[in-house]
Every structure is written in C-alpha cells, then in structure tokens.
C-alpha cells in the first residue's frame, strides 16, 4: 500500500512538473508545411475536401502562448501520473509510462486544437517504447514482454491503417502513428488493458457525438471530422488504470 502511495506521489509531482513545460515545447514544434493547392480538374478525396472546409490551423507558436495552458497541462499530467502510479506501484512499466504521460498531454492538446499529431513527437516516443522493451529483455532475459509489445504495435497499427484507408475523412494518419505507440504500450501492460483501452477510446469518441446528434436532431454532426487523438490517449489511460477492475466487475 505504501509503495503504491509513494509511486502515486512520484507520478503526481514528476508528471505535473513535466506537464508544466508543455507550452514551451509546443512553441518550439516546427510548423507543418501548408497543404498544396488542389490542381484544377482533379477530383479531391474526402480527406482533402474536409481539410479545405476547415478554418486555418492554429499556429503552434500561438497555441503555446494561450493563457493558463501550462496550468491545465500540469494538472492533466499530474492527475494521469498519480493514477498510473497508484495502480502500478513500483513496477518496471512505470519507468516507461510516467515519462510518456506529459508527452501524451502535449499530443492531446495539440490534436485538440489543430487536428494534428506531430510525428516529431510520436515517432521518438514509439522508439523509446521499443527501447524500453529491449532493456527489459536484456535485464530479465525474458523476451515475452517485448514480443507482446511488438505484436500489439503491428496489430493495432494495421487495424487503424485499414480504418484510415477506408475512411480517410474521419481519421488522420497521425492517429495511425499514435495507435502504434499506444498499441505497444498497452501490449506491455497486458491483453485486458489493450482491449479496454481501445474499446474505451472508441466509446468516448462515439457516444458524445451520437448524443449530440440525437439532441439536435442533426445527423450532420456525425459526418464532421473531430480529433481522435485525445480519445485514444484517454482510452489508453483508462485501460491501464481501470482495465482489470472493470473486467473483474463485469465478469463477477
């Protein structure tokens, strides 16, 4: 019990302090190149049409200067880190998850405001997750965790790639990259966190839109493009901190 409390305190303080750096880190992100102008006479894909209908993307420099952004990011990171520490205690996986918490906070905020998940953040985080698996294998001599993480990375990324390929207007390729990272991390955590995390992401994403569409009697709400990254990240957190208790409660 005391170990879990201490881990929660480390998560609270460490992730909160790291999360407070979010505004600065967002400001130094390189701006993506502008979308090319569509060629005359060329039929646009649904994704291209959706992008043309969107307002101009908020600049990272402007987003990073939003009032109280550091406080909000610190609060989100602190709460997420404390929850993970309280559930896991002093486990190996904590060494990977706590550093990823402020990274996830940054990605969630950026995607929420810009509908972009910068690969300059996602890809190194994915590499760090794979390096963690390699270090764990070298330290314990047991490759099961690494194999499970890699298999889940490939499986989840393939599923999301298919969803992106089939419905490009509803999902960006940044979501595909992020799914690889989360698939690897949730794979390390186990089968239950993986399935609960992914299911929770789609549930959190779909139910509010459906409720709004019913309340407004406007089905066009369901056809609009929304950022999926924050829901993927929230679902992954739910899978890690509440996956096992939820399954136990349902099955019991």
> pTM (2 decimals)?
0.89
Alpha helices in 89-228 (DSSP H): 94-114, 119-140, 144-166, 173-189, 191-216
158: closest CA among 198, 190, 131?
198
- Give the separation between CA 110 and CA 118, rounded to whole angstroms: 8
Q: How far is CA 252 from the centre of its chain?
A: 30
Q: What pLDDT tens digit does each residue of the chain (252 aa) get?
A: 778 899 999 999 999 999 999 999 999 999 987 766 655 666 655 555 556 566 678 899 999 999 999 999 999 999 999 999 999 999 999 999 999 999 999 999 999 999 999 999 999 999 999 999 999 999 999 899 999 999 999 999 999 999 888 865 467 899 999 999 999 999 999 999 999 999 999 998 876 555 554 555 545 544 556 789 999 999 999 999 998 888 888 876
219: closest CA among 230, 231, 211?
211
- Give the separation between CA 130 and CA 181, rounded to whole angstroms: 9
The pLDDT score that the predictor gives to residue 165 is 85
- Which helix (H) or strand (E) is 61 found in, with range? helix 60-63
């Amino acid at each position: 019990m005391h170990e879990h409390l201490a881990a929660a305190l480390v998560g609270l303080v460490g992730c909160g302090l790291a999360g407070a750096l979010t505004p600065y880190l967002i400001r130094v992100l390189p701006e993506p190149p502008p979308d090319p102008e569509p060629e005359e006479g060329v039929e646009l894909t649904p994704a291209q049409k959706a992008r043309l209908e969107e307002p101009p993307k908020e600049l990272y420099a402007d987003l990073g200067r939003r009032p109280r952004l550091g406080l909000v990011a610190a609060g989100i990171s602190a709460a997420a880190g404390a929850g993970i520490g309280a559930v896991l205690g002093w486990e190996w996986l904590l060494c990977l998850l706590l550093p990823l918490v402020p990274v996830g906070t940054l990605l969630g905020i950026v995607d929420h405001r810009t509908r972009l998940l910068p690969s300059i953040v996602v890809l190194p985080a994915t590499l760090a997750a794979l390096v963690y698996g390699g270090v764990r294998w070298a330290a314990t001599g047991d490759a099961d965790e690494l194999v499970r993480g890699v298999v889940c990375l490939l499986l989840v990324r393939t599923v999301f790639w298919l969803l992106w390929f089939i419905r490009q207007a509803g999902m960006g390729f940044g979501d595909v990259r992020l799914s690889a990272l989360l698939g690897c991390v949730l794979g390390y955590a186990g089968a239950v966190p993986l399935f609960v995390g992914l299911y929770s992401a789609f549930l959190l994403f779909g139910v509010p839109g459906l409720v709004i569409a019913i309340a407004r009697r406007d089905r066009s709400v369901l056809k609009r493009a929304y950022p999926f990254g924050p829901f993927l990240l929230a679902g992954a957190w739910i899978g890690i901190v509440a996956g096992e208790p939820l399954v136990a409660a349902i099955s019991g």
